Chains A and B, each alone.
Chain A
Amino acid sequence: MKSTQCYHCGDSCEDSIINFDEKNFCCNGCKTVYEIFSENNLTSYYNFQDNPGAIPTKIEGKYDFLDNKEIAAKLLDFSDGSMQIATLYIPHIHCSSCIWVLENLHKLNSNIVSSQVDFPKKKVRVTYNFNETSLKEIVLLLSAIGYEPYITLEDYDAGKKAVDRSLIYKLGIAGFAFGNVMFLSFPEYFEVDGYWIEEYKNIFRWLMFFFSLPVVFYAGSGYFISAYKGLRSKILNIDVPIALGIFVLFVRSSVEIIFDLGTGFFDSLTGLVFFLLLGKFFQQKTYNFLSFERDYKSYFPIAVTRILSNNKEENVPIYDIEKGDRLLIRNQELIPVDGILINGNAEIDYSFVTGEAVPVAKKSGDKLFAGGKQLSGILEMEVLASVSQSYLTQLWSNEVFQKENKSPFKTITDSISKNFTIFVLSIAFIATSFWLFFDASKALNVFTAVLIIACPCAIALAAPFALGNMLRIFGKEKFYLKNATVVEQLAEIDTIIFDKTGTLTTHKENTISYDGVELNQQEKSILKSSLRASNHPLSRTLYSTFKDVDVLSISDYKEIVGKGIEVTYNETSLKLGAANFVKNNEEKATLDTSVYISFNDEYKGKFTFKNSYRKGVKSLFSSLKKDFDLAVVSGDNEGERVFLQENLPEGTALLFNQKPEDKLEFVAKLQKEHKKVVMIGDGLNDAGALAQSDVGIALSENINVFSPACDGILDASKFSKIGMYIHASKKAIQIIKYSFILSLCYNVIGLYFAVTGQLIPVMAAILMPLSSISIVVFTTVSTNILGRKIK
């Protein structure tokens, strides 16, 4: 069977090809989007990239809450006169076609004044005339063309975040001053003896002085603050010798030009600050489209439909929901609070919470937990607890989520800087006291020279460049880390804990096993045809397993939501679905998810669904076994214990029936035994353990959409490479140690000149950039070699 690609979304059109305008579409949704574009002269959308689109989702009533002015106002950036500006997050933004069509929104709705895409953040900023159109209309338009915005509770209370650009300002100022000071120092570097230089060198020197002022007091201010904080908490961090160096450089240089003793070290001073800030800038690799700080708020909707006592519906913000309210949850909507199902057919998908993708059927009177997604039709529920009091959301009141509680990690740079600072200070004092006896006039000169030349610029640069580059390399390999410190923490790991469902298993694939009487060809055909008509996820999965079976046209089809399907074909009737529906008796609750079938009321057998394990789980565990303690914690029952015991190496701890708090406690217990723990999980129920662990890594099938708060996000396709990434982090730390040795060599050379009182400005001006640049080159080259190995 040759599969045809959909012109719009690129999916293969398996059974229903819609031909329109000489192009193939997989569904009516895609065709409609194409029609919208072709009517509005927007078909160049398809020229930038092949099959750029997404199937538009059905959204009846989903955005009605935007009619509520108060809720809508929370989403706006700006509102004035007739103009409103709103920024919307659209996960589907992925190519240049997306940018193009989203920036041409005004052609689809003439009341949109302009729209601007921020590609790295996957956001579009829409300016529109709100007398003529509304935010709801714009959201509906975007959804209709396959760019449904993602609006969550997080947008509701997020104030307008101020962008912190201070590092760019500081870098700009330091660079500007550095360039100019270098240029002004040239005449004295070459020791031009001209009569006029001698006469007017002061103007050069004072200009340099003024250029260095903003560098010391603004660009370098961060180092003084950090050094002060370090000293106050009795830590000699790397910023202490740096701040000391900057201070001494500035004071000595100022004294030299005030008393006309020399030209000062303004070139080294500005260069030092510039290089240090450059390192900071390089280390600051941020993945704008990812968020590492997510809590349940990024999952939950902003508003929900409440049913009033007179049966009227109204949209209320989630925070206003109270115990006893009745809520209406539509298809594909998230249940925001715990409650009791009143009526409607509930098929709840808890995959955000547990990672388990097979939906759970509930009947009226059953308890519903917050975080589940309704998959079939409309349901009504009565609220049992407000948002922050619900079972899942209570987890976030745990103290782990109060950030300050995490003890600060001592970086490799900080641990060397203590010894370094003491060493440098003692050399400075020894050398000074020697010169005090020998030639007192030189003593102060030597003292300052030692502090200047020993300023650990190269040491301070080694870690930012090595780790910053590792961050980029990991990012290319779809392993996204929050910041550079995570690489260092990863290098110290000795214990790895895995979540089971959704982490070791994948919900993209299921293994289906049949247990019962063999079906004949006709029965298979009827079964396949009935499955085809059903939208239930289990039916879809089962359908795809019958590849070489003919499809019949069935006459009598009835789907009883929450129970199963009843079909008649000629004289044969088929029932498939839950046990109590097919067999008319409650089977003892089994641990697995099954679909039962019967023909003409005669029970035939059942299909059992099991999440299949990811490829490479076994080999990953056996390779990790050598260096790490391993554990698997799962919220599920013990159904898989035997299988895991057989397949995972001996000594792997297996824990089942773990509540979210239990997982957190387990991590905390290991940490008390001085273990360094990495937790790898995927659902919101792992959020506590991820926060408690030294490094929390969220595994995600789609990195754009869901992942709980963590230190790193790993694309599920790279799951088997975890071990390699941890080893690469260890190697990166070694590279940093080598560069420390290298930079200490430079320091020894510099110190020789400083101690013997021969340090001249031009020497410092050469030595400092030289050492910095060679460290940068060394770390970058060696981490790149390392990066090539993990590919």
Chain B
Amino acid sequence: MSYFNKTNIINFEASIIRQDMSVIYLLLTLSILVALIFFIAFIYSVKKGQFDDSYTPSVRMLFDDELVTEKQEKSTLD
């Protein structure tokens, strides 16, 4: 009996398919998991009120830090 008999070939093909499939399962699970993480983060941020005011944070972000303010203070006193 040679190694390349029919049953072996079928078994071999099947094992390749099964490996393929496990990758699909893995990918599906992972992708849905990642999507779910973002989804939960979204729900959480809505609940915390982050979508209530979409303007003020954009301005607040541009304010200088304390240190810079003090420097400016000195220069006006000079």
Type the 1/0 row for B24-67, where 1 means its CB is closer than 8 Å to any CB of A: 11001001100100010011001101011111100110111000
Q: Do B39 and A176 touch across chains, with their CB atoms under 8 A apart?
A: yes
In chain A, residues 111-161, which have Cβ atoms closer than 8 Å to a Cβ of chain B?
Answer: 116-121
8 Å CB contact of B53 from A96, A120, A172, A180 = A120
B25 closest partner in A (C-beta):
A203
| CB neighbours of A516 from chain B (8 A) | none
In chain A, residues 176-198, which have Cβ atoms closer than 8 Å to a Cβ of chain B?
Answer: 176, 179-180, 183, 195-196
The answer to whether A44 has its CB under 8 Å from any CB of chain B is yes
Type the 1/0 row for A29-62, where 1 means its CB is closer than 8 Å to any CB of B: 0000000000001011001000000000000000
B39 closest partner in A (C-beta):
A176
Q: Do A203 and B55 touch across chains, with their CB atoms under 8 A apart?
A: no
Q: Do B53 and A121 touch across chains, with their CB atoms under 8 A apart?
A: yes
B35 closest partner in A (C-beta):
A180
The answer to whether A429 has its CB under 8 Å from any CB of chain B is no
- Known interface pairs A117-B56, A119-B55, A163-B52. Does A172 touch B46 (Cβ–Cβ under 8 Å)? yes
Q: Do B53 and A44 touch across chains, with their CB atoms under 8 A apart?
A: no
In the complex, what's the smallest C-beta–C-beta distance from B40 to chain A, in angstroms? 10
- Known interface pairs A163-B49, A200-B24. Does A172 touch B73 (Cβ–Cβ under 8 Å)? no
In the complex, what's the smallest C-beta–C-beta distance from A77 to chain B, in angstroms? 13
In the complex, what's the smallest C-beta–C-beta distance from B49 to chain A, in angstroms? 7
| CB neighbours of A169 from chain B (8 A) | 43, 46
In angstroms, Cα B72 to Cα A43, docked, is 9
Q: Do B73 and A41 touch across chains, with their CB atoms under 8 A apart?
A: yes
In angstroms, Cα B76 to Cα A508, docked, is 39
A22 closest partner in B (C-beta):
B76
The answer to whether B78 has its CB under 8 Å from any CB of chain A is no
Q: Do B60 and A103 touch across chains, with their CB atoms under 8 A apart?
A: yes
8 Å CB contact of A41 from B28, B43, B69 = B69
Q: Do B56 and A99 touch across chains, with their CB atoms under 8 A apart?
A: yes
8 Å CB contact of A118 from B20, B32, B53 = B53
| CB neighbours of B25 from chain A (8 A) | 203
The answer to whether A789 has its CB under 8 Å from any CB of chain B is no
| CB neighbours of A180 from chain B (8 A) | 32, 35
The answer to whether A741 has its CB under 8 Å from any CB of chain B is no
| CB neighbours of A47 from chain B (8 A) | 72
| CB neighbours of A165 from chain B (8 A) | 46-47, 51-52
The answer to whether A255 has its CB under 8 Å from any CB of chain B is no
Q: Do A176 and B56 touch across chains, with their CB atoms under 8 A apart?
A: no
The answer to whether B9 has its CB under 8 Å from any CB of chain A is no
| CB neighbours of B62 from chain A (8 A) | 96
- Known interface pairs A172-B43, A172-B46. Does A44 touch B32 (Cβ–Cβ under 8 Å)? no
Chain B, interface residues (CB within 8 Å), range: 20 to 34
- Known interface pairs A172-B39, A176-B39. Does A119 touch B17 (Cβ–Cβ under 8 Å)? no
| CB neighbours of B55 from chain A (8 A) | 119-120
Q: Do B53 and A207 touch across chains, with their CB atoms under 8 A apart?
A: no
In angstroms, Cα B61 to Cα A103, docked, is 12
8 Å CB contact of A196 from B17, B39, B46, B56 = B17
8 Å CB contact of B21 from A44, A120, A196 = A196
8 Å CB contact of A99 from B21, B60, B70 = B60
| CB neighbours of A203 from chain B (8 A) | 25, 28
The answer to whether A746 has its CB under 8 Å from any CB of chain B is no
| CB neighbours of A207 from chain B (8 A) | 28, 32
Q: Do B20 and A119 touch across chains, with their CB atoms under 8 A apart?
A: no
In angstroms, Cα B61 to Cα A99, docked, is 11
| CB neighbours of B76 from chain A (8 A) | 43
The answer to whether A100 has its CB under 8 Å from any CB of chain B is yes
| CB neighbours of B17 from chain A (8 A) | 195-196, 199
| CB neighbours of B56 from chain A (8 A) | 99, 116-120
Closest 8 CB pairs of A and B: A119-B56, A118-B53, A96-B59, A176-B39, A119-B55, A44-B69, A172-B42, A168-B46
A to B CB contacts below 8 Å, 28 in the list: A41-B70, A41-B73, A43-B73, A44-B73, A96-B59, A96-B62, A99-B56, A99-B59, A99-B60, A103-B60, A116-B56, A117-B56, A118-B56, A119-B55, A120-B53, A163-B49, A165-B46, A169-B43, A172-B42, A179-B35, A183-B31, A196-B17, A196-B20, A196-B21, A196-B24, A199-B17, A200-B21, A207-B28
Query: Which B residues form the contact surface with A (CB < 8 A)?
Result: 17, 20-21, 24-25, 28, 31-32, 35, 39, 42-43, 46-47, 49, 51-56, 59-60, 62-64, 69-70, 72-73, 76
